[in-house]
Amino acid sequence: QQLEEEQQLEEEEEKSSKRAKMTLSTAAESTTKDELDPETSDAAPAGEDEDTMSYGVSRLLSLPCKFGRLTIAAGSVVDFCGSAIVNAANTGCVGGGGVDGAISARGGYALQDAREALPIVGKGRTRCEVGDAKTTIAGDLDAEWVIHAVGPNYHHYDDEDEADALLYSAYRAAMLEARDKQMESVGFSLLSAGIFRGSRQLEPVLRIGLTAVAANTYPELKEAFLVAFTQREQATLEQAAAVLCPDPQRGFDWTAALADMKSERLHKTHALSLAELEARHAAPPSPRAVAPSSLSSCSPL
Residues 92 and 125 sit within 8 Å (Cβ to Cβ): yes
**Residue 91: which H helix or E strand, with range?**
none
Catalytically annotated residues: 100
For helices 160-180 and 202-214, angle between their N-to-C axes, nearest 10 degrees: 30
Q: Measure the CA–CA gap between 107 and 162, rounded to whole angstroms.
A: 32
- Spatial neighbors of 62 by CB under 8 A, at least 6 apart, are 69, 70, 71, 72, 223
- Spatial neighbors of 101 by CB under 8 A, at least 6 apart, are 27, 32, 95
Instruction: Report DSSP state, residue 291.
Output: P
CA angle 200, 97, 77 (to 5 degrees): 80
Give the pairing of strands 69-74 and 84-88.
unpaired
Strands of the chain, DSSP E: 53-54, 57-64, 69-74, 84-88, 133-137, 145-149, 185-188, 223-228
Give the pairing of strands 133-137 and 145-149.
antiparallel
